[in-house]
Amino acid sequence: MSRNGRTRRASHAGSWYTDSGSDLNAQLDGWLHKASESLKPAKAIIAPHAGYSFCGACGAYAYRQVDPNKVKRVFILGPSHHVRMTNCALTGTDTYETPLYNLTIDKGVCSELYSTGAFDTMSLSTDEAEHSIEMHLPYIAKVMESRRGQFTIIPILVGSLSTHNEAKYGQILSGYLKDPDNLFVVSSDFCHWGKRFGYTHYDKSCGKIWQSIESLDKMGMNIIEQMNPPAFSEYLKTFQNTICGRHPISVLLNAIEHLRSSSNGTRMELKFLKYAQSSHCENSNDSSVSYASASFVMN
Protein backbone atom coordinates (compact mmCIF):
# COMPACT_ATOMS: atom_id res chain seq x y z
CA MET A 1 0.00 0.00 0.00
CA SER A 2 1.26 3.46 -0.84
CA ARG A 3 1.19 5.36 2.43
CA ASN A 4 2.43 8.80 1.38
CA GLY A 5 2.93 9.43 5.09
CA ARG A 6 -0.81 9.32 5.71
CA THR A 7 -1.25 5.72 6.88
CA ARG A 8 0.47 4.27 9.92
CA ARG A 9 1.53 0.71 9.21
CA ALA A 10 1.04 -2.08 11.74
CA SER A 11 4.74 -2.00 12.59
CA HIS A 12 4.62 -4.51 15.48
CA ALA A 13 2.51 -7.11 13.67
CA GLY A 14 4.46 -10.32 13.16
CA SER A 15 6.52 -9.76 16.31
CA TRP A 16 4.39 -8.53 19.21
CA TYR A 17 1.26 -10.18 17.77
CA THR A 18 0.42 -12.27 14.74
CA ASP A 19 0.14 -10.56 11.36
CA SER A 20 -2.36 -13.16 10.16
CA GLY A 21 -5.84 -11.62 10.26
CA SER A 22 -7.60 -14.97 10.60
CA ASP A 23 -5.28 -16.21 13.35
CA LEU A 24 -5.51 -12.89 15.19
CA ASN A 25 -9.30 -12.88 14.95
CA ALA A 26 -9.48 -16.39 16.40
CA GLN A 27 -7.02 -15.56 19.17
CA LEU A 28 -8.89 -12.44 20.26
CA ASP A 29 -12.19 -14.32 20.00
CA GLY A 30 -10.89 -16.99 22.37
CA TRP A 31 -9.67 -14.53 24.98
CA LEU A 32 -12.87 -12.47 24.86
CA HIS A 33 -15.01 -15.61 25.17
CA LYS A 34 -13.19 -16.59 28.38
CA ALA A 35 -13.50 -13.12 29.94
CA SER A 36 -16.65 -12.25 31.85
CA GLU A 37 -18.94 -9.22 31.54
CA SER A 38 -18.85 -7.52 34.93
CA LEU A 39 -18.82 -3.71 34.50
CA LYS A 40 -20.53 -2.75 31.25
CA PRO A 41 -20.94 -0.64 29.18
CA ALA A 42 -17.49 0.84 29.68
CA LYS A 43 -16.96 4.57 29.19
CA ALA A 44 -13.25 4.02 29.67
CA ILE A 45 -10.97 1.04 30.08
CA ILE A 46 -7.42 0.55 31.31
CA ALA A 47 -5.60 -2.32 29.60
CA PRO A 48 -2.00 -3.49 29.01
CA HIS A 49 0.15 -3.07 25.91
CA ALA A 50 2.78 -5.83 25.99
CA GLY A 51 3.09 -8.66 23.48
CA TYR A 52 -0.15 -10.59 23.25
CA SER A 53 1.49 -13.82 24.42
CA PHE A 54 2.06 -12.06 27.76
CA CYS A 55 -1.00 -9.86 28.22
CA GLY A 56 -3.58 -10.65 25.55
CA ALA A 57 -5.71 -12.74 27.88
CA CYS A 58 -5.61 -10.06 30.59
CA GLY A 59 -6.59 -7.30 28.15
CA ALA A 60 -9.72 -9.22 27.15
CA TYR A 61 -11.28 -8.51 30.55
CA ALA A 62 -11.29 -4.79 29.78
CA TYR A 63 -12.43 -5.11 26.18
CA ARG A 64 -15.24 -7.49 27.17
CA GLN A 65 -16.93 -4.51 28.85
CA VAL A 66 -17.20 -2.49 25.62
CA ASP A 67 -20.61 -2.18 23.95
CA PRO A 68 -19.89 -1.31 20.31
CA ASN A 69 -23.44 -0.08 19.77
CA LYS A 70 -22.74 2.82 22.12
CA VAL A 71 -19.44 3.91 20.59
CA LYS A 72 -18.77 6.26 17.67
CA ARG A 73 -15.29 7.46 18.65
CA VAL A 74 -12.43 5.74 20.49
CA PHE A 75 -9.79 7.86 22.24
CA ILE A 76 -6.54 5.94 22.84
CA LEU A 77 -4.14 7.39 25.43
CA GLY A 78 -0.72 5.73 25.36
CA PRO A 79 2.54 6.64 27.12
CA SER A 80 5.57 7.66 25.09
CA HIS A 81 8.34 5.06 25.37
CA HIS A 82 10.85 6.38 22.81
CA VAL A 83 10.49 10.18 22.64
CA ARG A 84 10.92 12.50 25.59
CA MET A 85 7.84 14.73 25.82
CA THR A 86 6.32 17.00 28.44
CA ASN A 87 3.01 17.38 26.63
CA CYS A 88 0.68 15.30 24.41
CA ALA A 89 0.76 14.69 20.66
CA LEU A 90 -1.70 13.57 17.99
CA THR A 91 -1.09 11.47 14.90
CA GLY A 92 -0.35 13.13 11.56
CA THR A 93 -1.87 10.24 9.63
CA ASP A 94 -5.38 9.56 8.34
CA THR A 95 -5.50 5.80 8.87
CA TYR A 96 -4.04 3.16 11.17
CA GLU A 97 -3.51 -0.31 9.74
CA THR A 98 -4.33 -3.52 11.60
CA PRO A 99 -4.28 -7.13 10.32
CA LEU A 100 -8.09 -7.16 10.73
CA TYR A 101 -9.02 -3.92 8.96
CA ASN A 102 -7.89 -0.32 8.93
CA LEU A 103 -9.07 2.29 11.44
CA THR A 104 -9.93 5.87 10.49
CA ILE A 105 -8.55 8.87 12.39
CA ASP A 106 -11.15 11.44 13.47
CA LYS A 107 -9.66 14.55 11.89
CA GLY A 108 -12.52 16.72 13.17
CA VAL A 109 -11.81 15.91 16.81
CA CYS A 110 -8.08 16.27 16.18
CA SER A 111 -8.73 19.79 14.86
CA GLU A 112 -10.72 20.60 17.98
CA LEU A 113 -7.86 19.36 20.17
CA TYR A 114 -5.27 21.30 18.16
CA SER A 115 -7.35 24.45 18.69
CA THR A 116 -6.61 24.25 22.44
CA GLY A 117 -2.93 24.87 21.73
CA ALA A 118 -2.01 21.96 23.99
CA PHE A 119 -1.21 19.27 21.39
CA ASP A 120 1.75 18.64 19.09
CA THR A 121 1.95 16.20 16.17
CA MET A 122 3.87 12.92 16.21
CA SER A 123 6.29 12.30 13.38
CA LEU A 124 5.50 9.15 11.38
CA SER A 125 8.64 7.47 12.74
CA THR A 126 7.61 8.22 16.34
CA ASP A 127 4.06 7.06 15.59
CA GLU A 128 5.19 3.74 14.09
CA ALA A 129 7.82 3.06 16.77
CA GLU A 130 5.34 3.41 19.64
CA HIS A 131 3.71 0.15 20.74
CA SER A 132 1.58 1.53 23.58
CA ILE A 133 -1.11 2.66 21.12
CA GLU A 134 -0.66 0.01 18.44
CA MET A 135 -1.19 -2.94 20.79
CA HIS A 136 -4.77 -1.76 21.38
CA LEU A 137 -5.70 -1.40 17.72
CA PRO A 138 -6.47 -5.09 16.97
CA TYR A 139 -8.62 -5.36 20.11
CA ILE A 140 -10.48 -2.17 19.16
CA ALA A 141 -11.00 -3.47 15.62
CA LYS A 142 -12.24 -6.78 17.01
CA VAL A 143 -14.76 -5.50 19.57
CA MET A 144 -15.98 -2.82 17.15
CA GLU A 145 -16.24 -5.08 14.08
CA SER A 146 -20.06 -4.86 14.03
CA ARG A 147 -19.63 -1.10 13.46
CA ARG A 148 -16.77 -1.31 10.99
CA GLY A 149 -16.60 1.90 8.99
CA GLN A 150 -18.96 3.65 11.39
CA PHE A 151 -16.51 4.74 14.09
CA THR A 152 -13.29 6.71 14.29
CA ILE A 153 -10.24 6.75 16.57
CA ILE A 154 -8.25 9.54 18.22
CA PRO A 155 -4.78 8.31 19.25
CA ILE A 156 -3.05 10.54 21.81
CA LEU A 157 0.60 10.05 22.76
CA VAL A 158 1.04 11.17 26.38
CA GLY A 159 4.39 12.45 27.57
CA SER A 160 5.92 12.75 31.04
CA LEU A 161 3.41 15.26 32.33
CA SER A 162 3.61 17.35 35.47
CA THR A 163 0.66 17.05 37.84
CA HIS A 164 -0.41 20.48 36.58
CA ASN A 165 -0.45 19.27 32.99
CA GLU A 166 -2.21 16.03 33.94
CA ALA A 167 -4.99 18.19 35.35
CA LYS A 168 -4.95 20.44 32.26
CA TYR A 169 -5.31 17.57 29.81
CA GLY A 170 -7.88 15.92 32.07
CA GLN A 171 -9.99 19.08 31.90
CA ILE A 172 -9.62 19.32 28.12
CA LEU A 173 -10.68 15.70 27.64
CA SER A 174 -13.44 15.64 30.28
CA GLY A 175 -16.06 16.90 27.84
CA TYR A 176 -15.19 14.09 25.44
CA LEU A 177 -15.34 11.56 28.27
CA LYS A 178 -18.82 12.82 29.18
CA ASP A 179 -20.05 12.43 25.59
CA PRO A 180 -22.06 9.15 25.44
CA ASP A 181 -20.69 8.39 21.97
CA ASN A 182 -17.07 8.20 23.15
CA LEU A 183 -14.93 5.41 24.61
CA PHE A 184 -11.54 6.02 26.23
CA VAL A 185 -8.82 3.37 26.08
CA VAL A 186 -5.98 4.01 28.53
CA SER A 187 -2.83 2.02 27.79
CA SER A 188 -0.66 0.90 30.69
CA ASP A 189 1.35 -1.98 32.02
CA PHE A 190 1.99 -2.05 35.76
CA CYS A 191 5.14 -2.83 37.78
CA HIS A 192 8.31 -3.47 35.76
CA TRP A 193 10.41 -5.31 38.35
CA GLY A 194 14.04 -6.38 38.18
CA LYS A 195 17.57 -5.10 37.77
CA ARG A 196 17.07 -4.60 34.03
CA PHE A 197 14.30 -2.12 34.85
CA GLY A 198 16.23 -0.48 37.68
CA TYR A 199 13.44 -1.24 40.13
CA THR A 200 13.75 -3.86 42.89
CA HIS A 201 11.38 -2.72 45.63
CA TYR A 202 10.75 -5.70 47.93
CA ASP A 203 8.58 -5.78 51.04
CA LYS A 204 9.52 -9.09 52.66
CA SER A 205 6.47 -8.96 54.92
CA CYS A 206 4.37 -9.76 51.82
CA GLY A 207 6.11 -13.08 51.23
CA LYS A 208 7.97 -13.86 48.01
CA ILE A 209 9.10 -11.15 45.61
CA TRP A 210 6.19 -11.73 43.23
CA GLN A 211 3.77 -11.42 46.14
CA SER A 212 5.37 -8.11 47.14
CA ILE A 213 4.98 -6.88 43.54
CA GLU A 214 1.33 -7.90 43.53
CA SER A 215 0.73 -6.15 46.86
CA LEU A 216 2.36 -2.98 45.56
CA ASP A 217 0.39 -3.05 42.30
CA LYS A 218 -2.90 -3.71 44.02
CA MET A 219 -2.28 -0.84 46.42
CA GLY A 220 -2.03 1.41 43.37
CA MET A 221 -5.03 -0.23 41.71
CA ASN A 222 -7.13 0.40 44.82
CA ILE A 223 -6.17 4.08 44.76
CA ILE A 224 -7.03 4.32 41.06
CA GLU A 225 -10.43 2.78 41.83
CA GLN A 226 -11.01 5.63 44.31
CA MET A 227 -10.63 8.04 41.34
CA ASN A 228 -8.45 10.35 43.42
CA PRO A 229 -5.68 11.98 41.32
CA PRO A 230 -3.69 13.48 44.24
CA ALA A 231 -3.70 10.14 46.11
CA PHE A 232 -2.40 8.35 43.00
CA SER A 233 0.33 10.97 42.57
CA GLU A 234 1.33 10.55 46.22
CA TYR A 235 1.44 6.76 45.82
CA LEU A 236 3.76 7.10 42.81
CA LYS A 237 5.95 9.58 44.66
CA THR A 238 6.20 7.29 47.71
CA PHE A 239 6.82 3.93 46.00
CA GLN A 240 8.14 4.96 42.57
CA ASN A 241 6.22 2.03 41.10
CA THR A 242 7.20 1.65 37.44
CA ILE A 243 3.68 1.91 36.00
CA CYS A 244 4.54 3.01 32.47
CA GLY A 245 1.07 4.42 31.76
CA ARG A 246 0.92 6.44 34.97
CA HIS A 247 0.49 9.72 33.08
CA PRO A 248 -2.37 8.51 30.82
CA ILE A 249 -4.02 7.02 33.93
CA SER A 250 -3.61 10.33 35.75
CA VAL A 251 -5.13 12.22 32.81
CA LEU A 252 -8.14 9.89 32.96
CA LEU A 253 -8.46 10.34 36.73
CA ASN A 254 -8.34 14.11 36.33
CA ALA A 255 -10.99 13.98 33.61
CA ILE A 256 -13.20 11.92 35.92
CA GLU A 257 -12.52 14.32 38.81
CA HIS A 258 -13.56 17.24 36.64
CA LEU A 259 -16.82 15.48 35.74
CA ARG A 260 -17.49 14.45 39.34
CA SER A 261 -17.37 18.07 40.48
CA SER A 262 -20.32 18.83 38.21
CA SER A 263 -21.95 15.43 37.81
CA ASN A 264 -25.20 16.17 39.65
CA GLY A 265 -25.47 12.68 41.08
CA THR A 266 -24.18 10.70 38.08
CA ARG A 267 -22.96 7.31 39.30
CA MET A 268 -19.36 6.62 38.43
CA GLU A 269 -17.45 3.43 39.13
CA LEU A 270 -13.95 2.34 38.20
CA LYS A 271 -12.98 -1.25 38.96
CA PHE A 272 -10.10 -3.56 38.10
CA LEU A 273 -11.26 -6.88 36.72
CA LYS A 274 -8.04 -8.82 36.09
CA TYR A 275 -4.42 -8.84 37.24
CA ALA A 276 -1.51 -10.91 35.90
CA GLN A 277 2.29 -11.04 35.86
CA SER A 278 4.55 -12.13 33.01
CA SER A 279 6.34 -14.45 35.48
CA HIS A 280 6.72 -14.96 39.22
CA CYS A 281 9.92 -13.43 40.56
CA GLU A 282 11.55 -15.69 43.14
CA ASN A 283 15.00 -14.10 43.47
CA SER A 284 16.84 -10.86 42.77
CA ASN A 285 17.98 -12.01 39.32
CA ASP A 286 14.43 -12.51 38.08
CA SER A 287 12.31 -9.89 36.34
CA SER A 288 8.66 -9.45 35.46
CA VAL A 289 6.06 -7.03 34.13
CA SER A 290 2.58 -6.79 35.63
CA TYR A 291 -0.67 -6.30 33.73
CA ALA A 292 -4.10 -5.14 34.85
CA SER A 293 -7.45 -4.45 33.18
CA ALA A 294 -10.15 -2.09 34.45
CA SER A 295 -13.48 -0.65 33.37
CA PHE A 296 -15.03 2.73 34.15
CA VAL A 297 -18.80 3.27 33.87
CA MET A 298 -21.07 6.31 34.17
CA ASN A 299 -24.83 6.27 34.51
Proportion of the chain above pLDDT 70, given as a percent: 98
* Strand blocks (E) in the chain: 7-8, 44-47, 73-79, 88-90, 95-96, 103-104, 119-121, 152-158, 182-187, 192-193, 268-277, 288-298
* pLDDT tens, residue by residue, 34-79: 999 999 999 999 999 999 999 999 999 999 999 999 999 999 999 9
1 within some domain: no
199 within some domain: yes
pTM: 0.96
246 within some domain: yes
Alpha helices by DSSP H, 68-196: 107-114, 124-129, 131-134, 137-143, 163-178
Report DSSP state, residue 17.
B
Predicted pLDDT at 262: 80
250 within some domain: yes
| pLDDT band, very low/low/confident/very high, at 243 (cuts 50, 70, 90) | very high
Predicted pLDDT at 261: 86
| pLDDT band, very low/low/confident/very high, at 283 (cuts 50, 70, 90) | very high
Residue 219: which domain range?
A: 7-298
* pLDDT tens, residue by residue, 258-280: 999 887 778 999 999 999 999 99
* pLDDT tens, residue by residue, 218-239: 999 999 999 999 999 999 999 9
Supply the CATH number for residue 83's domain: 3.40.830.10
Number of domains in the chain: 1
Tell me which residue of 126, 100, 122 sits closest to 13, measured CA to CA: 100
170 within some domain: yes
